[in-house]
Chain A
């Protein structure tokens, strides 16, 4: 429903259809294929999700793409509940991609904040505190703890790269860090848009989504 495949009034009918499918076809298949390496709840959720996808295909339903139109041109208070649900779904998917970066997650999030000029706080730099990094961290505090929209990408990453050069024992310039962040953002757009496509993100809509993601993380 969040993706616009189904309407709210179809809910009862859809639930009935999925239950029937489970009873008639899927339970036997689950018994054969489920090996118990994940929680049954997770596996079952996947099976039910697939059932809904099949139904959407059979009914030739197309999703409502989340993109610039939803994220940039609609003020928060004008969003319909379904649109809000779709954005929340998009935030979860973004979170999933970032978590999948594993050890690179913190670096990616830190630099994506710089990418959208998100104000940093002590929480962002606490991970980097050490005697060696003190000067670089102070530089970050001095520049990114208050509004820094006026700074260009080149200037922003020239400051941030000093910290990563100490951490990673490298001697890169700001442009190299900027290219790395561009790569990460391209990958995010690619994965969010999906195959087959479920969203229509651009750099601008990604920035808006990142903004929402960091705000929701901050609010806990």
Chain B
């Protein structure tokens, strides 16, 4: 369609009122607030004609309502999509953790277990080692039945399970939270605040103090929350200044902090305790 120049176009009807397109142009300008693009003929007429001004305001209200509805629909859609993604990520994380647990359980601790057996029962040669191993793992319900079993498969139950679990648990303390990482990716920032410390993804040693500090001005109450990578809150404090020296009494792991006002999330970050 050929687009007509706004300044040269006639926006007035034979009755001397704005055409539908003239009304639409004024309503559209109210939305964009780009007054330089509004034809002078339209703005002059609107100033003097209450009827056309009223028509344009009514159209502006309709457009604003439509925009609000479409924004709401877009938010609903993105939240649904995000929820599905989050659910998928959570299940994927569970699967990865389960896989890791199995790996630790099945392989990583096997040589360690054998070392332990060797330390407890020193043996001279391989045959003797096999002979010695079998009684350790044999089923108590069949004490007299000699069995020729593969040492690899039978040695599994001798693995010190609690030790493997603690390694898995330790590792799981450092698995990033998909939810918080997504929020970090949004890079939300407090309008009038700037972070001084801790730098994002800072690593602290156990027992080391963590200094939280921001610059800027804000006239609202502020709260600092710290949560672990499983989303469990481990600390919360109401800030009386833009500085807070925190002495953590926490196990090693990945932690996220949020700075919030009464109504809004202002800033968030990630840190590690080693």
Chain A's closest residue to B47 (CB) is A100
> Restricting to B1-34, which residues have a CB under 8 Å from any CB of A?
1-6, 9, 19-21, 23-25, 27-28, 30, 33
* A96 and B56 form a contact (CB under 8 A): yes
Residue A121 lies at the interface, judged by CB distance under 8 Å to chain B = yes
* B25 and A37 form a contact (CB under 8 A): yes
| Alpha-carbon gap, A218 to B207, bound state (A) | 43
| Alpha-carbon gap, A88 to B68, bound state (A) | 11
- Smallest Cβ distance from A192 to chain B, in angstroms? 8
* B2 and A36 form a contact (CB under 8 A): yes
Residue A45 lies at the interface, judged by CB distance under 8 Å to chain B = yes
Q: A34-B21, A37-B9, A194-B54 are in contact. Are A92 and B65 (CB under 8 A)?
A: yes
* A92 and B54 form a contact (CB under 8 A): no
> Restricting to A71-97, which residues have a CB under 8 Å from any CB of B?
88-89, 92-93, 95-97
* A45 and B25 form a contact (CB under 8 A): no
* A36 and B62 form a contact (CB under 8 A): no
* A42 and B3 form a contact (CB under 8 A): no
Interface segment among A13-21, A46-54, A154-162, A171-179: the answer is A46-54
- Smallest Cβ distance from A45 to chain B, in angstroms? 6
Chain B's closest residue to A89 (CB) is B61
The binding surface of chain B is classed by DSSP as helix
* A93 and B2 form a contact (CB under 8 A): no
Residue A108 lies at the interface, judged by CB distance under 8 Å to chain B = no
Residue B60 lies at the interface, judged by CB distance under 8 Å to chain A = yes
* A46 and B23 form a contact (CB under 8 A): yes
Chain A's closest residue to B25 (CB) is A38
* B20 and A33 form a contact (CB under 8 A): yes
Residues in chain B near residue A198, CB distance under 8 A = 54, 58
Residues in chain A near residue B141, CB distance under 8 A = none
Residue A28 lies at the interface, judged by CB distance under 8 Å to chain B = no
* A43 and B24 form a contact (CB under 8 A): yes
Residues in chain B near residue A95, CB distance under 8 A = 60, 64
* B24 and A38 form a contact (CB under 8 A): yes
Residue A191 lies at the interface, judged by CB distance under 8 Å to chain B = yes
Residue B57 lies at the interface, judged by CB distance under 8 Å to chain A = yes
* B61 and A96 form a contact (CB under 8 A): yes
* A46 and B4 form a contact (CB under 8 A): no
Residue B193 lies at the interface, judged by CB distance under 8 Å to chain A = no
Residue B84 lies at the interface, judged by CB distance under 8 Å to chain A = no
Interchain residue pairs A-B with the least CB separation, the first 5: A92-B61, A35-B4, A36-B3, A96-B60, A194-B54
Given contacts A42-B24, A92-B61, A195-B54, 15 further A-B contacts (CB under 8 A): A34-B1, A35-B21, A37-B4, A37-B6, A37-B39, A42-B28, A43-B21, A47-B20, A49-B62, A95-B64, A96-B57, A191-B53, A191-B54, A194-B50, A195-B50
Instruction: Identify the B interface with A (CB < 8 A).
Output: 1-6, 9, 19-21, 23-25, 27-28, 30, 33, 35, 39, 46, 50-51, 53-54, 56-66, 217, 219
